[in-house]
Amino acid sequence: MIEPGFHPPCSVLRGKLLSVSERTSLAWVPSILLSPASSPRSQADDTDDGPAPGTPGLPGSMGNPKSEDLEVPDREGLQRITGLSSGRSALIVAVLCYINLLNYMDRFTVAGVLPDIEQFFDIGDSSSGLIQTVFISSYMVLAPVFGYLGDRYNRKYLMCGGIAFWSLVTLGSSFIPRERFWLLLLTRGLVGVGEASYSTIAPTLIADLFVADQRSRMLSVFYFAIPVGSGLGYIAGSKVKDVAGDWHWALRVTPGLGVLAVLLLFLVVREPPRGAVERHSHSPPLSPTSWWEDLRALARNPSFILSSLGFTAVAFVTGSLALWAPAFLLRSRVVLGETPPCLPGDSCSSSDSLIFGLITCLTGVLGVGLGVEISRRLRRSNPRADPLVCAAGLLGSSPFLFLSLACARGSIVATYIFIFIGETLLSMNWAIVADILLYVVIPTRRSTAEAFQIVLSHLLGDAGSPYLIGLISDRLRQGWPPSFLSEFRALQFSLMLCAFMGALGGAAFLGAAIFIEGDRRRAQLHVQGLLREAGPADDRIVVPQRGRSTRVPVSSVLI
């Protein structure tokens, strides 16, 4: 017998105990676990596996299909919750956007002067790819560290320290002599410290300042900086090199801008309360859980895992194109006879870095804006719009990227047209993927989720893709007679791997669309205090045993 007044957990539904098999079969159903402080009546009567339809602020799957989002605070409500005016919040986003632009500008400045770096250090394609791989690997390894810190400590100061360190290391990398290529690899690896400290934390600040469509718009502004900064990296790298007559000066632009970024962070940015804009006024604040609990919860979130795998394909493709597209276009022009080859000891003169940078800027702005707007409109009638738009972007970009490679031997103009279309479709993913993460993961583990996504996307994506493309190119060239045509063909065939990876990423986003509604609902209920996560102790209940209260498995008290 169970003692009077005992309040069973969620394994008791509608007044009867479930058998072990019944509880196993219902293990996947999102249930509302009742608070121990609830009244006996609420424990006995309110045992449904979800809240009643029409509960304020909850996604209405019954009776109100359009009420999917949380109650959105108005401007005064946001100011009261965050302690920041709407103007100050917008200014914070502007500062974060500037720093994000600067990060990507520095990352792709190296790609803009890659032919000159190859000539200066006398290295091949595989070693050139290693420059980006070392940086991404460092960034990937350090991301979980800053994700853990970002969920628990002041995010503003973490970013300030990381960006200051990044600026110093980037400046130092511009003074490395030609016989110390290994030192260039080391400094590029250390640059990952600054980027990891920022990329895992900044989106969570935006999430704590805005909700719903406001958040989506601000994230789109924030992620505009990725393609624009990447394009500016190519442009700054090639133009500063031309003006100064030395590629080393291209690496000395962003450190000065980094000092300004640290000052803006320190003076403008303020730390908002975590998750406050998503809670009801009567809901208790969320408390951080252990790092292992965070990882277990993320591993059980299929929307997060599948969208991260889809984003991994995006990272693979963009990482490969970012480093190798200007070099590929230069080799194409050499084969077509439109430009002289880049010989040892000479400065590589080509407009392709500038043109590709402009295309990257334009397609990024167009793609990010197009993706967010299409998703926002489709979301009104289809709650799965976000992953479906991401899937359409990736699946649509693959054939155009393949055509851009196939046409490079015949027409450089056609190649640029197909690159433009392919990169526009590819850029539709950036802001949407970030928004998916923020609404399927609770606020207290978002930095950890950002870090996990960074590790996964870079480990299987752009950490190895530049090196892999270069390695395949070198291996292909070994079996062919040395010529400019063989260099072009080898890189052309190796880059075709990007089209295949894009198709795999599209399939992952289609998988995420299956789970997105349920995962979003569970995250919202958790934030509002209406759902707590099941743990190992949730299958045990308190019963009288040998004169004392003892926690035992539910199955041991079934009659």
pLDDT in tens, 120-138: 888 877 787 788 778 878 8
Instruction: Give residue 234's pLDDT.
Output: 77
Instruction: Give residue 549's pLDDT.
Output: 62
pLDDT in tens, 444-455: 888 788 878 888
Q: Tell me the DSSP string of 378-429.
A: HTTT-TTHHHHHHHHHHHHHHHHHHHHHHTTTT-HHHHHHHHHHHHHHHHTT
Mean pLDDT of 105-128: 79
Instruction: Give residue 112's pLDDT.
Output: 74
Instruction: Give residue 511's pLDDT.
Output: 94
Q: Is 51 left (phi over 0), alpha (psi -120 to 50) or beta?
A: beta
Instruction: Give residue 439's pLDDT.
Output: 87
Tokens representing 196 are: 């990891």
The answer on pLDDT for 145 being more than 90 is no
The answer on pLDDT for 550 being more than 50 is yes
Confidence of residue 500 (pLDDT cuts 50, 70, 90): very high
Q: Among positive and negative, which fits the CA dihedral 444, 298, 320, 397?
A: negative
More confident call, 203 vs 48: 203
Mean pLDDT of 495-519: 93
Instruction: Give residue 506's pLDDT.
Output: 94
Dihedrals phi, psi of 139, to nearest 5 degrees = -55, -40
Mean pLDDT of 150-175: 86
Return the ∠ at Cα 527 (arms to 523 and 533), rounded to 5°.
Answer: 65
Range of 367-381, 384-398, 458-472 with top mean pLDDT: 384-398
The Cα–Cα gap between 447 and 35 comes to 28
Find the radius of gyration of the CA atoms of the chain.
Answer: 26
More confident call, 263 vs 111: 263
Q: How far is CA 305 from CA 43, 208, 224, 407, 509, in A?
A: 34, 22, 24, 36, 10
Q: 503-536 burial by CB neighbour count: b if 16+ within 10 A, else e?
A: ebbbebbbbbbebbbbbbbbbbbbbbebbeebee
Biggest CA–CA distance in the chain, Å, is 93
- Residue partners of 152: CB distance under 8 A and separation at least 6: 288
The answer on pLDDT for 465 being more than 90 is no
Tokens representing 212 are: 């719903």
The answer on pLDDT for 293 being more than 60 is yes
Instruction: Give residue 555's pLDDT.
Output: 43
Q: Which residue has the tokens 């791997």?
A: 497
**E-assigned strands of 118-216?**
none
Mean pLDDT of 248-260: 86
Instruction: Give residue 393's pLDDT.
Output: 94
Q: What percent of the chain has pLDDT over 70?
A: 75
Instruction: Give residue 311's pLDDT.
Output: 92
- When the pLDDT of each residue in the chain is averaged and rounded to a whole number, the result is 76
The answer on pLDDT for 43 being more than 60 is no
Instruction: Give residue 514's pLDDT.
Output: 94
> Structural domains in the chain?
75-276 (1.20.1250.20), 289-530 (1.20.1250.20)
pLDDT in tens, 512-523: 999 999 888 888
Confidence of residue 44 (pLDDT cuts 50, 70, 90): very low
Tokens representing 326 are: 């200007």
The answer on pLDDT for 200 being more than 60 is yes
Q: Which of 254, 256, 239, 237 is nearest to 109 (CA)?
A: 237
Q: How far is CA 397 from CA 280, 376, 432, 505, in A?
A: 41, 21, 16, 11
Instruction: Give residue 484's pLDDT.
Output: 83
Q: Which residue has the tokens 């299958």?
A: 539
Tokens representing 296 are: 């277990």
Whether 425 and 400 have beta carbons less than 8 Å apart is answered as yes
Confidence of residue 65 (pLDDT cuts 50, 70, 90): very low
The Cα–Cα gap between 451 and 146 comes to 7
Confidence of residue 548 (pLDDT cuts 50, 70, 90): low
Whether 17 and 554 have beta carbons less than 8 Å apart is answered as yes
Mean pLDDT of 147-152: 81
Query: 76-85: which pairs have CB atoms within 8 A and are 24 or more residues apart?
Result: 78/209, 78/210, 78/211, 78/277, 81/273, 81/276, 81/277, 82/208, 82/209, 82/272, 82/273, 82/276, 82/277, 83/270, 83/272, 83/273, 84/209, 84/270, 84/272
The answer on pLDDT for 198 being more than 90 is no
pLDDT in tens, 357-388: 788 888 888 998 899 889 988 988 999 999 99
Confidence of residue 75 (pLDDT cuts 50, 70, 90): low
The interaxial angle of helices 302-336 and 465-478, nearest 10 deg, is 40
- Residue partners of 246: CB distance under 8 A and separation at least 6: none
Confidence of residue 9 (pLDDT cuts 50, 70, 90): very low
More confident call, 65 vs 306: 306
Q: What percent of the chain has pLDDT over 90?
A: 14
